[in-house]
Structure 1
């Protein structure tokens, strides 16, 4: 399985209702992470937050 997004890409993150509350919006891909089952994962960062998040590829769209 290959990652769809590369480090430095800008993506739109949609928070899942099941997971912790998170702000939807544009984020930068900081790092590609190992897959979780059948979904690639990424470390992403918003310019409006002081911390990074982990997101599944299914939660991301090209910005």
Structure 2
């Protein structure tokens, strides 16, 4: 099984599929890596704007903005 491509706490950008029109695009935080024996790993993520959580596939994600430190 392939390792997950994103880590817990990482910010990611979600690009919903054509059948996910009600899922908002934007920045999410990875909360949990989910076990999966398929080729597309799954994650539990939280939308940063409203706190809503959902399960998404790795193919729907890309690296989010880097954290800003002063």
State the TM-score bracket (shorter-chain normalisation): 0.7 to 0.9
Say what the alpha-carbon RMSD is for the aligned residues: 1.5
Looking at structure 2, the residues matched to 59 and 27 of structure 1 have their Cα atoms a distance apart, in angstroms, of 12
User: Where does residue 55 of structure 1 map in the other structure?
Assistant: 56
User: What TM-score do the two structures reach when normalised by structure 2?
Assistant: 0.80
3-state SS of the aligned residue for 2:36? strand
User: What TM-score do the two structures reach when normalised by structure 1?
Assistant: 0.88
Quick check: 1:11 aligned with 2:12? yes
Q: Size of the alignment, in residue pairs?
A: 63
3-state SS of the aligned residue for 2:35? strand
User: Where does residue 24 of structure 1 map in the other structure?
Assistant: 25
Looking at structure 1, the residues matched to 56 and 11 of structure 2 have their Cα atoms a distance apart, in angstroms, of 13
Larger Rg: 1 or 2? 2
Consecutive unaligned residues in structure 1, runs of 5 or more: none
Structure 1 residue runs of 4 or more that deviate by more than 4 Å after TM superposition:
none
